[in-house]
Amino acid sequence: KKIKVFAPATIANVGPGYDILGLALEGVGEHLEIELLDSDAIIIHPIPEYPDLPLSPNENIAGIVAQAMLNQLGLKQGLSIKIEKAVKPGSGLGSSGCTAAATAFALNELLDQAFSQLELVEFAMLGEKATSGKAHADNVAASLVGGFCIIKSYHPLEILNIPFPKELRIVVAHPQIEVKTADSKKILKKEMVLPDVITQMGNIAALISGLTTSNYDWIRSGMNDLIAEPIRSYLIPGFAQAKSLAMETGALGCSISGSGPSIFAFCENENQAKEVGDKWKQFYADLEIDSKIYLSKI
Ligand code: HSE
């Protein structure tokens, strides 16, 4: 028995929602194939473009997630896992989350849907913990559930899937430098003062209300972050200028995607997204930084 699945890349945090907001990018992501073997070995095939990714099932994200699922069921089952990465690890687009989500979903199908969707998110979170040291759910939930997700609670895990304006477009610029989530998590402050907490809560409330009622002014006013962006932006060359370019073009908001270095902008429609994308392409070219631009729906 075998299955091939696609898991979307994701934008985590989405401005003010550190570790609690995530959205899935339509059409950008990775393919993963799992086949049940007659042996009990888990074989992870090398990915030619990424020779540094570990292939041992105890270290590889797909291996870690698959083993946890099999262990839970008390099964010794051999697997062959082939991963086709479209998004580079360390991009801030949930590359490791894609692998974890794809593995959890695909293996569950081969196991006759032994687990619920929420359980699959929890298994996929083990992959995130192995990569970044923290079992954050924002990338894997968005990749598994799709659309726009809120992690309402971690203990117990509770995920809400909210509506958003269908014409909304996302532009992503991925400057080809690597930022490790583990590193960019460590630099964040561990505490926040009450006035900042109040501002941040107001921003999240405005963003979510704006998304669910298609109120673009509220989205724009909510897309401000006091937790991650002010600190992480130092790791991302040209962030402030790239953000200004997007906002001057009329974007509804712009922030860091996950832990960076990718950045994203919310746009009202396809044309605005193209315009921001073109400006960013030129901007990074002027900085002599290679970049990839993605235009996507949620
Ligand atoms: N919420 C996580 C973080 C996502 O910002 O560290 C990592 O992609």
Tens-place pLDDT, residues 48-91:
999 999 999 999 999 999 999 999 999 999 999 999 998 888 89
Global pTM reads: 0.96
Tens-place pLDDT, residues 252-286:
999 999 999 999 999 999 999 999 999 999 999 99
CB of 200 closer than 6 angstroms to any ligand 1 atom: no
Would you state the structure tokens that stand for residue 181, as one six-digit string? 């989530």
Q: Which of 17, 248, 281, 252 lies closest to 172 in space, CA to CA?
A: 281
> What's the 207 CA to ligand 1 centre distance in angstroms?
18
**Is 229 one of the catalytic residues?**
no
φ, ψ of residue 169 to 5 degrees: the values are -125, 150
Is the reported ipTM for this assembly greater than 0.90? yes
The residue from 10, 103, 181, 249 that is catalytic is 181
**Is 248 one of the catalytic residues?**
no
Q: Is the peptide bond before 54 cis (omega within 30 degrees of 0)?
A: no
Cα separation, 259 vs 19, in Å, equals 10
- The letter for the amino acid at 234 is Y
